[in-house]
Structure 1
Amino acid sequence: MARPLRILQVMRAPVGGLFRHVADLTRGLRARGHSVGLIVDSLASDAQTERRLDALREFADLGVHAMPMPRVLGRGDLSTPFAVRKLARDLSIDILHGHGAKGGFYARLAHIGRKRPVALYTPHGGVLHFSARSRSGKAFHWLERRLLGQTGAIIFESDFARETYGRLITPPTCRTEIIYNGLDAGEFEPVVIAEDAADFVFVGELRELKGVFPLVEAMVGLRRKDGTAATLVMAGDGPQRAELEERIAALSLGERVKLVGSQPAQTVFAQGRVAVLPSLAESLPYVVLEATAAQLPVVTTSVGGIPEIFAGTTETLVTPGDAEALARAMQAVLDRPEAARAEMQVRLRRVASEFSLETMVGRIEALYRDVQEKG
């Protein structure tokens, strides 16, 4: 029987899909007998982050270690790779798995000049969202190219992400695998919709990248079959909340659009009858998978790996940033709810078969073993 692995997961993001992925992976690997530790950002810590990390500590038997990870470029980028390297040596780590741009950089920089631990990397969108023309984009993409030689494998969560990496940065010279994000079997339960639920529900960060401004613009003319105005619940927080509130007021939508702050997705799904997720860019968003598993019809955009989730139902995807097209898609669901639910059932079957947490963890574990043996 193969010995258990000693694994460090390195990430910056304290919330969102990346955190969800690392949390699921940590629990899954621990259940399979491996020892796991986490390296997280010490600069972005708050009460919500600490609560999330506290819930993971029992599964992270190698500890949760906080180090400075600036959002773009900063002083922590000079010290943290050395701290990661030292921790990996002290804990006799076999696998360093970096998540997101910063996690990926630190894991691979810590590997320079060493055969062990093997460094793997999952972009999670991250560096793929930087324009090749921006200063930050040029810096990050240059680093990506330089660090390919230190990379045991790159795990892409969608075919879109792998294609984009090759086109935007460079075709990877290391091993690559496409491993979809997965949901636990227990998540595939229909949500109980509240009697006073809104017509639509949004879950995500309140910032431009998530399409929140086209979404509220699309709400202006939406009407139910009885002629009354449609309503929307928006859950989440973010750097552009105040700007969004101003836009909602300017559109006279204060009575129809309700911001409820950050809440668990399952709690929020009960507050709306249709999930709407109008992102301008994504990798493979968990919230689309979660809404489908909760058996909500989904109106979303044709970005990132979403068409891979929507395989068989892609004709209803919306052009990102087009408020008029989004409004037409949302109105179609209001006008033809039976058709929307039939489409949801097609998508539900695909997500249940292709986006399994057990499959995700098993394939990543197998990749760890393989790259370690060949490294």
Structure 2
Amino acid sequence: MLKAYKYRLYPTKEQQEMLFKHFGACRFIYNWGLEQKIKTYEQDGKSVSRFDLNKGITMLKRDGEHEWLKEVNSQSLQGATLNLDNAFTRFFREKKGFPKFKSRKNPVQAYNVPQNYKVDFENNMIYLPKIGNVKTILHRSLGNGDLKTATVSQTSTGKFYISILVDDGGENLKKMEFSENDTVGVDVGIKDFAIMSNGDKIDNPRHLKNSMKRLKVLSKRLSRKQKDSSNRNKARKQVAKLHEKISNQRHDFQHKVSAKLVSENQAIAIETLNVSGMLKNHHLAQRIADASWSSFVEKLEYKAEWYGKTILRIGQFEPSTKICNVCGKYNGSLTLADRKWECLDCNTTHDRDINAAINIKTFALQEQNLIGI
């Protein structure tokens, strides 16, 4: 099983300069490789392989104009061509969008270290090729697995991190058996972040909304600064720090909720949502983005894999909200404003979200409605 461990780096000024050289060189190779692929396809109708691009990197180092590429780790340069290859794979297989050229103005930069790095827990150091031993906060063990690719990154606030991929050699845990009693249906929402089929509700903390007043002040200050000035860069960092705080709050909240759900249930039933389509509703887009449902579902899925739990999905067109969970009556007149409604057949009064969560669980436990199980 593959797991990633992320640690904060504290490089010296000299080491920061070398990190910036690696960021720039890998970005240059990525853009150069993308240009080569586009030109070759336009001229010959053929695709350039990653291995041909790697041979081209050697030729670039030999000409006088690009000798500076010798100053950085050669395997990291080849990692840039691998990233480009993966981007084209996602484009053709998953229709994720054609690869774009990377900008040096992007405050978020990263490069890969495929091998030859070393982790020293005794001295809180990580050795990086061409850079040396970098002070690191190694706050948790990597275990006894094999170290795979490491990724060094810089955030928009100027912090440096390293993410290490580890293969522990073990297989995914066998899925535990589940029944109706140990399965919970979860309906995500805006007013309440998550509503369970057992009637429990988890409030939506609305991290972005709570910081919006301060964010508007900082954004206005940024807009008034002269472009490319040092004061504008300082103002940009202030905005970036607040966005980073909001993001950290959101991820912390979602990790706690997802861990609680996975630990307390053998199976979790969720609804497949077209989030990108829902974001086109300009009245609710900001609240939907603040809730970040896709990120929450992703955390549920990989934690369920870790602990042998099951995620059940139902189709996005299942009418979970409009069907009475008692008698099955369909209420076609229900609108988004109706938070409670009464069934005309059995006279049961429903809480809109709890009824939806119960129906999600019911639909998921019906074999014909399961997706990807």
Q: TM-score, normalised by structure 2?
A: 0.24
If you compute each CA radius of gyration, which structure gives the higher value, 1 or 2? 2
Higher fraction of strand: 2
